[in-house]
Amino acid sequence: MSTIAPKFRFSYFLKSITDSAFWALLLLTLIGLPFAMIVLFYLRLPIIDDKLMTPYLALTTLADPSRQIPLIKSIIHSDLFRITAFPGFGFAALLAAGTIFVERKMLAKLQLRVGPFYCGKIEGILQLASDGIKLLTKEIIIPAKADKPIFWAAPVLFVATAAAFVSLIPAARGGWVVADADVGLLAVFAIIGFFPVITVLSAWSANSKFPFIGGIRALHQMVSFEIPLILSVLGIVILSGTLNLTQIVESQYHYWWILFMPIGAIVFFIAMLAELERIPFDLPEAESEIVAGWLTEFSGMMYGLVQLGSYLKLYAFAALFTVLFLGGWSGPNIWPPFPEEIIKDGIVVGPVTARFPGLPLLDQQMLNDVLWFTVKVVGVIFFILLPRGVFPRIRIDLLLHIGWYKLIGLAFVNIFIALALVYAGVLGPGGIL
């Protein structure tokens, strides 16, 4: 049975445009203009030169270089900047994106392949952007028998938990951390404990056998390795005498804890690989056995959110290892000091002198800290990625045996070493080092 399209009438077309314009103007007047006024005139920015700034006043300072730099500095040191840019989500997402590309190219070189090549003329550098656009445009398919609210919420909760993990990692001295909690290490392990719950919920809500098998495997694996993961850092807590991550870094200005706690570092690294579900501990996602494990039923951007959360989690674990064992941002000064004439008089470019009092935006010490922190984190990420191209997948019984027997035993040995160093007067309060 065929249907005949209605005849086109210009009057109806004109009336639809008029109605749309009317409702657009009405919404703009009732909602848009008041919202713009609130944002421009009532949103409070930091106080600069004893004057409370608003976005409108900030825009008026664009023609005044003497006020631009203090405004930019205030924005850089605001909580919003820490959360969105550095050391929060933006910095972590940038490193996560670079990790995905480097992993592809590194595995290709190890396996005598080319890797991403065609999307982007320089080593396929645009492949990641292409994959992101593809995931955004893919259809999201929900299984018919799935528990839809939990199935929809699981990827969002996974990313949110990974972002909360990132927020606790300090990246530089001077308060460059989103949440500087006194019990930061305890908060980290509390957040890590949410990942198995989210994994099991997402697997169960799919109402499919392969995700359920992968979820059960993930639960067994994470629970088995979270215990040695926690025990491996108790030695550092004993030696540093604090649970605050910033203070743990400050306790390593003369020596890194990995020099005295190598067994704890090894146990933490192995348990970290298991928590990240990286080869050789990738049984929850074993593609040769259960397709993609607990990720099997995810599609489109839901799958993309889980992958984003996984690599944010990878960065957070690498940063945590750096903070606990490698001295965090500590290291010799490499960034050269800024000349006094640039700070006072401005920058001279040919015949033009750009006078911006207050430059540079960031001090030398902060830039050195960020440089060392980034270099150490990238190095740890490299060693996390390396086993994927070197080691085969191990059986589930061997995996559980390693977690429950070998790593827990080594973790207790590490604790005894820490106690011996404290009671011998070598480290800790009143120690000779």
pLDDT digits (tens, 9 = 90+) for 43-72: 666 666 666 566 666 666 655 655 666 667
Ramachandran assignment for 91, one of left (phi > 0), alpha (psi -120 to 50 degrees), beta (any other): alpha
Residue 390 CB burial class (10 angstroms; 0-12, 13-18, ≥19) = exposed
Host H or E run for residue 184: helix 184-192
- The model's pTM is 0.80
Distances from the Cα of 129 to the Cα of 10, 14, 322, angstroms: 43, 41, 29
Q: Which pLDDT value is given to residue 317?
A: 93
Q: Which pLDDT value is given to residue 347?
A: 61
Q: Which pLDDT value is given to residue 329?
A: 87
What count of other Cβ atoms lies within 10 Å of the Cβ of residue 254?
8
Tell me the per-residue pLDDT of 260-307, one tens digit each, with 9 for 90 and over: 889 999 999 988 888 888 878 777 676 666 766 677 777 777 888 888
Based on C-alpha coordinates, what's the Rg of the chain?
A: 27
What count of other Cβ atoms lies within 10 Å of the Cβ of residue 45?
15
Q: Which pLDDT value is given to residue 316?
A: 92
Q: CA torsion 65→66→67→71, rounded to 10°? A: 80
Distances from the Cα of 220 to the Cα of 154, 279, 303, 401, angstroms: 19, 16, 23, 12
Strand 47-48 relative to strand 51-52, pairing: antiparallel
| Type of residue at 309 | G
Q: Which pLDDT value is given to residue 1?
A: 47
Domain ranges of the chain: 85-423
Classified as helix, coil or strand, 116 is coil
End-to-end CA distance of the chain: 90
Instruction: Specify which residues 352 forms β-bridges with.
Output: 349
Report residues of the chain scoring pLDDT below 70: 1-10, 13, 37-71, 284, 286-289, 291-293, 338-359, 428-433
Q: Which pLDDT value is given to residue 66?
A: 59
Q: Which pLDDT value is given to residue 377?
A: 92
What the block records as the tokens of 36 is: 């713009």
Q: Which pLDDT value is given to residue 319?
A: 93
How far apart are the C-alpha atoms of 283 and 346, rounded to whole Å? 58
Whether the Cβ atoms of residue 323 and residue 249 lie closer than 8 Å to each other: yes
Q: Which pLDDT value is given to residue 376?
A: 93
Instruction: Specify which residues 176 forms β-bridges with.
Output: 172
Q: Which pLDDT value is given to residue 399?
A: 76
